[in-house]
């Protein structure tokens, strides 16, 4: 697979790599405002820097995992405080930006691969699972909970978050690809949809940990966001099932006519 630029002369500078990355972005359809205007641009900067340093996409994925899991480990092991809140947020946000960088670096270098995509998604799934497990540990070890029912919130949140991640990936893999690229220009991404998706953007989850210094504020904010994730999971599940059912019916009808 060819890269997005020649990678020689001035194009191999940091600014040249950044310009080439800006010209080769994935579609913004189905992407929240945070990912579109904050995380992806930050990822471009890291991807350009990694390209200049001669790093590989898998090395960037490994760095993203190391930073993210350092923050998750701190969350699980240390008592909540405002400095910890800032540290966990910074580690998760940096890990998220690096997660956006590895795929962009792969496209820049022309090194996209199934193995690299698998590694990226496996790290993402592990990160989501570990993060809510760390919150459960914090609830049990460090919070004066008003009732044991609060210990059910992290597993429910974890289930909804993992299923949204997994369901979205699986739906994208199972959807039939168009036989030929569309001739008409694609409609611009919906800003309303981008705003509506903010509650289930990982950047919003990262921001939640800025409340970690106040037990009650964090606990209530976490429970509220957990409820939002459950609602989104239910809505997404219905949407994805209907889309795949319609695609299957269309395939069957097409096969019957041929």
- The answer as to whether 182 is a domain residue is no
pLDDT band for position 253 (50/70/90)? confident
- The answer as to whether 89 is a domain residue is yes
209: Cα separation from own chain's centroid: 16
Q: Which long-range contacts (CB under 8 A, 24 or more apart) does 202-207 make?
A: 202/35, 202/92, 202/96, 203/32, 203/34, 203/35, 203/38, 203/39, 203/93, 203/96, 204/34, 205/92, 205/131, 205/161, 206/89, 206/92, 206/93, 206/96, 207/89
Cβ contacts of 256 within 8 Å, gap of 6 or more: none
Q: Tell me the C-alpha distance between 107 and 111, whole Å.
A: 6
pLDDT band for position 189 (50/70/90)? low
pLDDT value for 178: 66
pLDDT value for 156: 98
- The answer as to whether 4 is a domain residue is no
- The answer as to whether 130 is a domain residue is yes
Q: Taking residues 77-83, what's their average pLDDT? A: 97
- The answer as to whether 238 is a domain residue is yes
Evaluate if residue 185 carries a pLDDT over 60.
no
pLDDT value for 194: 86
- The answer as to whether 86 is a domain residue is yes
Q: Tell me the C-alpha distance between 102 and 113, whole Å.
A: 12
pLDDT value for 6: 42
The residue among 88 and 10 whose pLDDT is bigger is: 88
CB 53 within 8 A of CB 18: no
Q: Which long-range contacts (CB under 8 A, 24 or more apart) does 150-155 make?
A: 150/219, 150/223, 153/222, 153/223, 153/226, 154/222, 154/226
The count of domains in the chain is 1
pLDDT in tens, 13-68: 877 777 777 666 666 666 788 988 899 999 999 998 998 888 999 999 999 999 99
Sort residue 110 into left (φ over 0), alpha (ψ -120 to 50) or beta.
left
Listed residue (175, 140, 172) closest to 155, CA to CA: 140
pLDDT value for 109: 81
- The answer as to whether 218 is a domain residue is yes
Evaluate if residue 227 carries a pLDDT over 80.
yes
User: CATH number, domain at 66?
Assistant: 1.20.120.1760
pLDDT value for 7: 44
pLDDT value for 20: 76
The residue among 154 and 186 whose pLDDT is bigger is: 154
- Which of 46-60, 130-144, 212-226 has the weakest average pLDDT? 46-60
Q: Which of the listed ranges 19-33, 96-110, 134-148, 167-181 does the model predict with the highest average pLDDT? A: 134-148
Q: Taking residues 90-101, what's their average pLDDT? A: 96
pLDDT value for 14: 78
- The answer as to whether 33 is a domain residue is yes
CB 134 within 8 A of CB 157: no
The residue among 22 and 205 whose pLDDT is bigger is: 205
- What does pLDDT average to over the chain? 87
Q: Is 209 exposed, middle or buried, given 0-12, 13-18 or 19+ CB atoms closer than 10 A?
A: buried
Listed residue (51, 94, 44, 97) closest to 71, CA to CA: 94
What is the extent of the structural domain holding 62?
9-174+191-257
CB 135 within 8 A of CB 154: yes
Q: Taking residues 81-99, what's their average pLDDT? A: 97
């Amino acid at each position: 697979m060819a890269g997005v630029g020649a990678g020689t002369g001035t194009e191999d500078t940091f600014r040249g790599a950044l310009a080439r990355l800006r010209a080769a972005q994935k579609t913004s359809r189905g992407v929240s405002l945070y990912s579109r205007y904050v995380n992806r641009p930050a990822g471009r900067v890291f991807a350009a820097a990694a390209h200049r340093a001669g790093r590989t996409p898998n090395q960037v994925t490994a760095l993203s995992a190391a930073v993210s899991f350092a923050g998750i480990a701190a969350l699980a092991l240390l008592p909540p405080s405002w400095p910890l809140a800032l540290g966990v947020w910074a580690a998760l946000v940096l890990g998220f930006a690096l997660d956006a960088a590895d795929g962009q670096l792969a496209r820049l270098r022309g090194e996209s691969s199934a193995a690299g995509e698998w590694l990226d998604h496996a790290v993402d799934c592990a990160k989501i699972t570990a993060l809510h497990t760390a919150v459960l540990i914090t609830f049990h070890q460090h919070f004066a909970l008003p009732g044991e029912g609060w210990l059910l919130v992290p597993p429910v949140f974890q289930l909804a978050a993992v299923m949204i991640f997994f369901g979205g990936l699986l739906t994208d893999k199972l959807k039939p690809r168009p036989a030929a690229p569309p001739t008409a220009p694609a409609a611009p991404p919906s800003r309303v949809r981008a705003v509506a998706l903010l509650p289930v953007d990982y950047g919003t989850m990262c921001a939640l940990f800025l409340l970690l210094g106040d037990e009650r504020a964090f606990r209530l904010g976490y429970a509220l966001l957990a409820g939002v994730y459950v609602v989104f999971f239910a809505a997404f599940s219905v949407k994805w099932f209907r889309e795949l059912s319609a695609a299957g019916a269309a395939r069957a009808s097409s096969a019957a006519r041929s």
